[in-house]
């Protein structure tokens, strides 16, 4: 279902026409106000009958309408998703110091470095943690919180 977060902003749609009607018209000395951009010059010169195109006034109407629609924040609403209410809060802390590059672990019959072994163990651990909130902190010289506690296990892995 489509809805607007701020539907009252759609009241701004007639604002340019109200301002044009309410404010006095200024006389320009035969010249039209133009945007000083070479790519837009061709657009503003589409008043000639030999050239096809949308007139500048219609571009302005379209742009204003799209701006008002975007400002009203259209949202697609669906059914509410309830996260699981039971489970544990787990923080994984992983060492990223230089010693983790040492290849002295065995994984699947081959020798791998310590960090690769930790990634494999953590990946298997996260697959079995359905319903738990898991976070990740890594450290080497300093500690960094990579993810807060979350039900999204794929973000942690």
Strand segments, DSSP code E, in 42-154 are 74-76, 89-95, 105-107, 110-112, 133-139, 143-150
Separation of alpha carbons 32 and 143, rounded Å:
61
Least confident of 43-47, 57-61, 134-138: 43-47
Looking at CATH, the fold of the domain delimited by 89-156 is given as Rossmann fold (3.40.50)
pTM value is 0.47
More confident residue, 151 or 45: 151
Separation of alpha carbons 28 and 45, rounded Å:
18
Domain boundaries, the chain: 2-76, 89-156
Give the CA count within 13 Å in the CB-facing half-sphere of 118.
Answer: 16
Inter-residue contact 103 to 112 (CB < 8 Å): yes
pLDDT band at 38 (very low <50, low <70, confident <90, very high): low
Of the chain, the percentage scoring pLDDT greater than 70 comes to 78
Task: Look at residues 115, 154, 121 and name the one whose alpha carbon lies nearest to residue 138.
Answer: 115
Q: Mean pLDDT, to the nearest integer, of 56-60?
A: 79
Q: Mean pLDDT, to the nearest integer, of 132-152?
A: 91
CB atoms within 10 A of CB 43: 15
pLDDT band at 72 (very low <50, low <70, confident <90, very high): very high
pLDDT band at 102 (very low <50, low <70, confident <90, very high): confident
Question: Collapsing DSSP states into helix, strand and coil, what is residue 4?
Answer: strand
More confident residue, 41 or 112: 112
Task: Look at residues 124, 114, 108, 110 and name the one whose alpha carbon lies nearest to residue 94.
Answer: 114
The tens digit of pLDDT for each residue in 7-29 reads 999 999 999 888 877 776 665 44
The predicted structure's pLDDT at residue 153: 84
Q: Mean pLDDT, to the nearest integer, of 77-101?
A: 85
């Amino acid at each position: 279902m489509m809805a607007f977060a701020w539907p009252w902003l759609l009241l701004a749609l007639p604002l340019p026409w109200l301002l044009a009607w309410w404010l006095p018209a200024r006389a320009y000395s035969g010249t039209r106000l133009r945007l000083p951009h070479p790519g837009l010059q061709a657009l503003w010169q589409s008043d000639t009958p030999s050239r096809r195109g949308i007139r500048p006034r219609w571009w302005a109407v379209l742009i204003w309408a799209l701006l008002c629609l975007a400002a009203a924040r259209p949202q697609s609403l669906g059914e509410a998703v309830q996260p699981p209410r039971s489970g544990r809060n787990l923080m994984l802390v992983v060492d990223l110091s230089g010693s983790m590059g040492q290849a002295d672990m065995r994984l699947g019959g081959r020798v791998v470095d310590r960090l690769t072994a930790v990634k494999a163990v953590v990946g298997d651990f996260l697959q079995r943690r359905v319903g738990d909130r898991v976070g990740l902190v890594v450290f080497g010289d300093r500690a960094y919180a990579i993810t807060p506690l979350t039900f999204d296990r794929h973000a942690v892995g």
